[in-house]
Amino acid sequence: MQILTRRRAVGVVVALTTAALVAACSAGSGESPGGERTDVVVGLTGEPTNLDFTTTSGSAIPQLLMNNVYEGLVTIDQEGEVQPQLAESWEVNGDRTVYTFTLHEGVQFSDGSPFTADDVVSSIERVQDDWTLSLRSKMDVVRKVRATSDTEVAVTLKHPSNSWLFDMGTSVGAMFPDDLSADLATETVGTGPYTVEEVAPGDHITLAARDDYWGEAPAIQDVTVRYFADANAQANAVRAGDIDMAYNLQAPDLLDGLARDENLQVVDGTSTGEVLLALNNAAPPFDDLRVRQAVMYAIDRKAVLDTAWAGHGELIGSMVPPTDPYYQDLTDAYPHDPDRARELLAEAGVEDLSIAFDVPTRPYAEAVAQVVVSQLKDVGIDAKIVPAEFPAVWLDKVFTEHDYQMSVILHTEARDMLTIFGDPDYYIGYDNPEIATVADEADRGSPDEYVAGMQEVARMIVDDAASDPLFLFPNTVVADVRLGGIAANATTESMDLTGLTWPLD
């Protein structure tokens, strides 16, 4: 056995014995001198493959790290509103193209270096120059960024933008040191209240509270995030008291029983996550609009929600959740109409169609896939499920290589409609240049013009049947009844642990 030690600023993969795992992961192992608990054990499914969300796709990394280890100039609160974080305030000039941020003083990164305006400049420029993810496009609107003093930075946009400040509250707005030399896949250097203490692949990641954090110190000093292979194991662990909180529990059939447990609380939160039946628009047969529309008419979304997810969630009809300002109800755009689906398949000359259905090994995806396969079979589409281990296999085959016909995946990023459908090189392969034009005009316009333009974009994507947003995913948290400060709404990718508290004994 090899155990690696390190400063709190750096995350290192370690090998642990079984006995050490039990000691590290047992709920209720930490107390303060006053007797109150200072540790929490959180259960999740979907382990991150590394710690670098600047080059690695998927929500698992920012879910763990944003607000806890990394912070931005602003953050998004539980109501979906922009709030100050590392910036104590900001001003916007008359034509809405220059944002001047005043930074909190006395902020330090976890490696001890001070946080200054130079770090803001380099962090924004790093998104533009070094990030490899499609999310980098959210910084395309920035013309230049410059430090006007150690505690003031001016960001000049190419044009007014209704979306940019909100985007700064997501992972693209994370702040890193100007002289960053760390390997972000294994190391973290943030301004947040926690650092990554250790990573045990296949089991858990431990966060430790910083004693030099610039803001209000969290009540919880040690957080162990345990990763489970499936939701049933996660649910059993919270029921048994092995973990204190099961976050984003994907076991809807177990919720009634868990709610009856007097030792547990069930908190139903909302999210920005859409369960998307993804169709590869760049490959046969879904390069044909009629085939895509046939799938849309073949799917009974309410039946999918009720059967696969016990009715937990919400039908939305587009990749826009109700918490977004430009939400509109498009659930009636493609009513369940098997006869119309068969007519469209006949027009396209693809009756008795057989397709590969790459399904990631996630509870929601596997449950949804069974219902979708049955409904497609009813209209003459034979969808053969191809299991894809998530995240490694699915991310490589479907997301990166685009080697698929149909898949199903939960997109959790906030306001991600343009990320998914505005880039023909994205894995969906949807190519409609008019989208970019309308979206750009909307972003430059007044708030009312922004809403109207983005609603038009959503309708265009739905009319083209680019893919099928099946339902809005709930964010369900099951926790020890005594645990307070739970941030149940997933308004961005972040699982904010900073407010968790235990009652004083």
The pLDDT tens digits for 398-426 are 999 999 999 999 998 889 999 999 999 99
Two structure tokens written together for 445: 């316009």
Q: Are the C-beta atoms of residues 33 and 43 closer than 8 Å to each other?
A: no
pLDDT at 405: 98
pLDDT at 134: 85
Distance CA 72, CA 176 (A): 9
Residue 64: which of 44, 79, 84, 35 has the closest Cα?
Answer: 44
Give the number of C-alpha atoms closer than 13 A to the C-alpha of residue 486, restricted to the C-beta side: 25
Q: Provide the phi-psi class of 28: left if phi over 0, else alpha when psi is between -120 and 50, else beta.
A: left
pLDDT at 36: 77
Distance CA 490, CA 59 (A): 11
pLDDT at 413: 87
Two structure tokens written together for 39: 């540790």
Distance of CA 369 to the CA centre of its chain: 21
pLDDT at 31: 66
Tell me whether strands 353-360 and 381-388 are parallel, antiparallel or unpaired: parallel
Distance CA 40, CA 20 (A): 17
Cross-strand pairs, 406: 279, 357
Q: Are the C-beta atoms of residues 408 and 374 closer than 8 Å to each other?
A: no
User: Which residue, chain included where needed, has tokens 């008795």?
Assistant: 352
pLDDT at 28: 57
Distance CA 354, CA 336 (A): 21
Q: Which residues of the chain, if any, have pLDDT below 50?
A: 1-26
Two structure tokens written together for 131: 């990030």
Residue 318: which of 236, 221, 411 has the closest Cα?
Answer: 411
